[in-house]
Amino acid sequence: MPSASFSSSRSYVRRSRRKGGHRIPLPSRTQSSEPCESVPIPNNVTGSAMAATAACAGPSGGGGAPPVPAAAPATTAGHHSPYDLRRKSPPAYHEPGPSGACSLPARKRPRTSLSQGVDVCNVSQYLQYELPDEVLLCILSYLTERDLCRVAQVCKRFNTIANDTELWKSLYQSVFEYDTPLMHPAPCQFEFVAPDECDADNPWKESFRQLYYGIHVRPSFRLKKDSRIRHFNTIRTALEFVEERTGSSVTASTNTAGPTTSSSSSSAASTTNTSNSNVCSCNPTGACTCRRPQPTHQPALVFIHAGLYQEECLAIDSDVQLIGCATGNVAESVVLEREAESTLTFAEGATRAYAGHMTLKFSPDATSTMQHHKHFCLEVSDNCSPTIDHCIIRSASVVGAAVCVSGAGANPVIKHCDISDCENVGLYVTDYAQGAYQDNEISRNALAGIWVKNFANPIMRRNHIHHGRDVGIFTFENGLGYFEANDIHNNRIAGFEVKAGANPTVVHCEIHHGQTGGIYVHESGLGQFIDNKIHSNNFAGVWITSNSNPTIRRNEIYNGHQGGVYIFGEGRGLIEHNNIYGNALAGIQIRTNSDPIVRHNKIHHGQHGGIYVHEKGQGLIEENEVYANTLAGVWITTGSTPVLRRNRIHSGKQVGVYFYDNGHGKLEDNDIFNHLYSGVQIRTGSNPVIRGNKIWGGQNGGVLVYNGGLGLLEQNEIFDNAMAGVWIKTDSNPTLKRNKIFDGRDGGICIFNGGKGVLEENDIFHNAQAGVLISTQSHPVLRRNRIFDGLAAGVEITNNATATLEHNQIFNNRFGGLCLASGVTPLVRGNKIFSNQDAVEKAVGGGQCLYKISSYTSFPMHDFYRCQTCNTTDRNAICVNCIKTCHSGHDVEFIRHDRFFCDCGAGTLSNQCQLQGEPTQDTDTLYDSAAPMESHTLMVN
């Protein structure tokens, strides 16, 4: 039968039928038109179409407008119907020619009603071109998916209408119930895609095509007539059908590629229409697109519709895909629950099995006597690799675990699951099992969120593990694993615990707000913790103890409510390239025979100290930057013997490195500078080796040795300190060898209050006060030193002190080489004192007030007096020239020959100095340099 011309590019305007109007063709927008090759409508379609037409059109000849079907094309945004409903109308009616065929008319004819008894050509013409779009949509809404695809091959107009988005959405949701199209691009891969984000022209039809080969578990569901989608009342009968089908002949197995006849109880119908199962009956040429052919090895697909399924334990040992099917939240609507044995088990042979979008519950009866400690909500055993996706997993058992993966070859993919509120462990991986676990929510479990043991080696990425009533992740007994980008927080014990030979790799995780610590490695635990953020934990960010030896690298460890890294109980470990800051206690604490390697870290802005080594702690601490901490940069105490090399320790609010209470160790090649107190302090029996360091810029001196401190200071550069380069006091007895002590804004070495010490082969030069000042009953030994270019005296000995000076060179100092106060008798042997400037004697000889050559930090040594007439006190001193000139005729008293500055010239007396100009108000009347500040703050973690 020749077909009439129908072009999608031609538009028509329809008048209302009530007015008896005819369609008026509008000018074509294009010059060409494609013929629509009409295919005779099959008998079964014609019959149903005629019945639907009668239902939609109303009484014949009534002339009323047909009702709009429920599936009116209100298309989803982004996916409009291929045609514009009621705007592109069919072409004019064609009158049959003399030969009985329909020919193109020379003029328009009035519409002929179906009730007038026209021939078949007219009926076909009417259905194809005259029947309104709304009526066709209503008719097609009664068809099954197979018949709808057949109708789409009649002509272009039918193809366009039969592919309407809303039509397929309605059909899709009647079968699969999903609110959004579910795409199935590959085995074990399912993804909901919003219609406006899908690349397909009709997302609902494309999803229908991809899912069509599945069977359904939908109790008491009534199908459309002639639907070939299989339905079952129970999961077990569906699985038995799958097993029978896959285990039967090749012909029966091949039949699974196409749609099957409806069945709700009998599996024997699986052989229906198998003789032509490879060719869809809607098109004998095989060109139909009503479904995606199932690949030869495609796993069976079982849709489980909404409901509570309390059947026998499901054990899957073949490739089958189980997926929940419901409106709204699919996983919450499909529930599989057991009271004994495991709810769902995957065993050997389930290499491409799948379970997704459902709730799995294990709720054992508390009064039952049946053992359930080896039963789980979800169990994956040896030699299988299922995919578990978007499942809610709950277990009320107080023993075991909600999910157990065990055995060699167990290699599941568990993703997007919610494993929460279980009364035991959330996820348990053991006995050489592997698997990928990603994007899961694991929370509020009574025991650990995750256990990994016995050489299990899972990969866990992007999981959210939080608010557990125990540890977040626990690896023990040689457990392994790769943990990446997980968020672990608010667990009652540590966020991550490693024990007993376990050796996990943890990278890019955030471990925070633990109610105890962040990471806890103990009992010979290992592990690599790299590029993590560890912060805001109640205890230390990282704990390492009992012979454990992890690697902590490139982490940020900050804002802990106690310390940053805490190593104790013979712990070891490699701590490198970390950024450790803002912790309430020490950034790194090492104690009780622990011996880590700490290098290339930044340890700063701590509310306590930087590094705290105590109770016989050891360790190699090298090339770190330790700065801006509230207390000491490094504390070493109580028998500890660490080695510190090539560190930069600076800008602290107290001491740089603080040795006390028998703290020992080596301090080599470090740069220690800009501390509010001394760069290094040594006290109370401490005896470190300090070698090759630069110690400078201290606001209270370079090195302070006091209260019985010892130590060997060798080959250091000590310079540019605000007070003495080295202070030795209160019975301390260090050894200083081959150091350079220079450019101090006070003296070079100041020894007082009973200080001792051996000073050998040091270069002491260009200091503002004496190169070596010895005072108040001190008795050091100076041997083979060079003391030169000082802005005051070379060596000054005062206040009943004494010294042994042997083979020293003292030269080119401003106030003289060796200046001795009254009553001082040192032992002097083989010294060379030469080329010194006697600025004091020159000032006295020139009649100047000696205050002119004094300063806050430089005090000349000479005779000084007191004036009784001017009521001077024991703290005042007057130089000889002021006595002769300013206090001439007064009652004066000679005190002694010692270092001082003149109070008369300073303007601190009642009279005005006649040898000075305007008086300078200077009230510093101390004979000696100001004593350094000592650190008395001891805070123990």
- For 509-566, write each residue's pLDDT tens digit: 999 999 999 999 999 999 999 999 999 999 999 999 999 999 999 999 999 999 999 9
What whole-number distance in Å separates Cα of residue 134 and Cα of residue 70? 10
- For 605-614, write each residue's pLDDT tens digit: 999 999 999 9
Mean pLDDT of 98-103: 41
| pLDDT at 419 > cutoff 50 | yes
Is 651-837 in the same CATH topology as 128-212? Answer: no
Most confidently predicted of 39-43, 314-318, 454-458: 454-458
Identify the three-state secondary structure at position 898: strand
Burial 79-92 (b: 16+ CB within 10 A, else e): bebbbebeebbbbb
- For 157-201, write each residue's pLDDT tens digit: 889 999 999 999 999 999 999 999 999 999 999 999 999 999 999
pLDDT band of residue 298 (cuts 50, 70, 90) is confident
| pLDDT at 270 > cutoff 50 | no
Of residues 90 and 318, more confidence is placed in 318
Longest dimension (CA), the chain: 159
- For 822-844, write each residue's pLDDT tens digit: 899 999 999 999 999 888 888 88
Which superfamily does 651-837 belong to? Answer: Single-stranded right-handed beta-helix, Pectin lyase-like (2.160.20.10)
DSSP E strands in 286-398: the ranges are 300-305, 307-309, 314-316, 320-325, 334-338, 344-346, 354-356, 359-362, 378-380, 387-389, 392-395
Report pLDDT for 916: 76
Q: Nearest CA to 658 among 682, 639, 641, 674?
A: 682
Report pLDDT for 340: 84
Mean pLDDT of 685-691: 98
For residue 159, with 0-12 CB atoms within 10 Å meaning exposed, 13-18 middle and 19 or more buried, which class applies? middle
| Ramachandran quadrant class, 151 (left: phi over 0; alpha: psi -120 to 50; beta: rest) | alpha
pLDDT band of residue 252 (cuts 50, 70, 90) is very low
Q: Whole-number mean pLDDT of the chain?
A: 82
Of residues 461 and 70, more confidence is placed in 461
Q: What CATH number belongs to 128-212?
A: 1.20.1280.50
pLDDT band of residue 912 (cuts 50, 70, 90) is confident
Report pLDDT for 733: 97
- For 551-592, write each residue's pLDDT tens digit: 999 999 999 999 999 999 999 999 999 999 999 999 999 999
Report pLDDT for 205: 94
Q: What percent of the chain has pLDDT over 70?
A: 78
| pLDDT at 342 > cutoff 60 | yes
Report pLDDT for 154: 87
Of residues 786 and 921, more confidence is placed in 786
Report pLDDT for 399: 86
Please state the pTM of the whole predicted model. Answer: 0.79
Least confident span in 40-44, 82-86, 250-254, 747-751: 250-254
Report pLDDT for 926: 33
Q: Nearest CA to 624 among 633, 635, 616, 615?
A: 633
Mean pLDDT of 225-230: 80
Tell me the residue type at 708. G
Mean pLDDT of 862-876: 85
**Bridge partners for 406 per DSSP:** 430
- For 707-749, write each residue's pLDDT tens digit: 999 999 999 999 999 999 999 999 999 999 999 999 999 999 9
Report pLDDT for 875: 83
Domain boundaries, given as residue ranges, for the chain: 128-212, 651-837, 862-905
Report pLDDT for 682: 98
Report pLDDT for 652: 95
Q: Nearest CA to 280 among 267, 268, 271, 293?
A: 293
Least confident span in 84-98, 662-676, 785-799: 84-98
Degrees to nearest 5, angle at CA 665 with 698 and 599: 75
DSSP string for 105-127: -SS--PPPPGGG---HHHHHHII
**Bridge partners for 782 per DSSP:** 759, 805
Mean pLDDT of 264-287: 37
Report pLDDT for 56: 37
| pLDDT at 363 > cutoff 70 | yes
| pLDDT at 12 > cutoff 50 | no
| pLDDT at 45 > cutoff 80 | no
